[in-house]
Structure 1
Amino acid sequence: MKIHDTIAQVLKNKNIDTVLSIGPDDTVYDALKLMAEHDVGALLVLSDGELSGILSERDYARKGVLLGHPSRETRVSQMMSSPVMFVSPEHTVDECLEMMTRHRFRHLPVVGRGGVMGVVSIGDLVKWVISQQDRAIQELEGYVTGGYPA
């Protein structure tokens, strides 16, 4: 089942007013605190309002813990992933799922004409697909049982 809904629809459905971000000169410790506070797995790294990177728990585990970089002394810019792949709000859920699967990342920034609009996670997209499949099943059940409007 193809999902041609746009990422703009997914962002609207998330109903989140602010984009969680951190600056490149902030410490990784501050970033981890912010992630824990908001129960998220990644933060966008913004420099003067522009997307300059992304810092994920995976980045911290692989570039911080395993390489012995202390989080209180390490700058976000030293550990963030950059350059960052991003999508526009017009991209479809299917396009984003394919991109995330192919490149093996879990968070995808959304950038529009006005700048950074948000981020979608693989979990956000899987939830969207499941809800669309549920809706399709209900419509098919209605059709099979005669409750479908002609």
Structure 2
Amino acid sequence: MTTVAEILRSKPDSQVYSVSPSDSVLTALQRMADKGIGALLVLEGQEIAGIFTERDYARKVVLQGRASGHTPIREVMTHPVRFVRPTQSSEQCMALMTENRLRHLPVVDEQGSLLGLVSIGDLVKGVISQQRFIIEQMEQYITGR
């Protein structure tokens, strides 16, 4: 069973990208496009105030006819934000994501410090890697190598 901490360690880029609540939606979209990501944490200092995703943009900006350049993130971000601990399993994360229709989960330690962000893609990649390892072990056992 893979833990969130192990998934974070396996990510090639563990940096968490963020915006502040007062930043415009346009600023957030530009950052997401520049980094090739689908979500940004919204931070006030070191505290998680919310999360802004492509889904938020589609549903709360485009469909409501808001102007990206004049709409602050605080008006369209998702909050409160669900998070996970580094000791939780990938299976627990996937269940939480499925139940709540989420694609991204911040990882926060017991003291409340932000450690990273995991996406559904990170979790699926971890499951595939784990299954590949098991298959290789079984093949070696069967063939006697």
Contact 2:8-2:14 at 8 Å conserved across structures: no
| Partner of residue 137, structure 1 | 135
Per-residue CA distance 1:99-122 (angstroms, 9 max, x = gap): 001111101111113611111110
Q: 1:95 aligns with which of 92, 97, 103?
A: 92
- Letter of the 1:120 partner, please give it: V
The equivalent residue for 2:119 is 121
Identify the match of residue 21 of structure 1 among 18, 30, 37: 18
Residue 34 (str. 1) matches residue 16 (str. 2): no
Kindly provide the amino acid, as one letter, of the partner of residue 130 in structure 1.
Answer: I
Out of 137-146 and 104-113, give the one that drifted further. Answer: 104-113
Computed over aligned residues only, the root mean square deviation of the Cα atoms, in angstroms, reads: 1.0
Distance (Å, rounded) in 1 between the aligned partners of 2:13 and 2:87: 18
Structure 1: stretches of 5+ with no match in the other structure: none
Query: For residues 24 and 146 of structure 1, what CA distance do their matches in structure 2 show?
Result: 59
Give me the whole-angstrom Cα distance separating, in 2, the residues matched to 1:16 and 1:89: 17
Alignment of 1:41-52 (within 5 A): 41-52=38-49
User: 1:92 Cα deviation (Å)?
Assistant: 0.6
Mean alpha-carbon deviation: is it higher for 74-83 or for 112-121? 112-121
TM-score (norm 2): 0.96
Identity %: 49
Pairs aligned (count): 144
4+ runs of 1 displaced by more than 2 Å? 15-18
* Structure 2 unaligned blocks of 5 or more: none
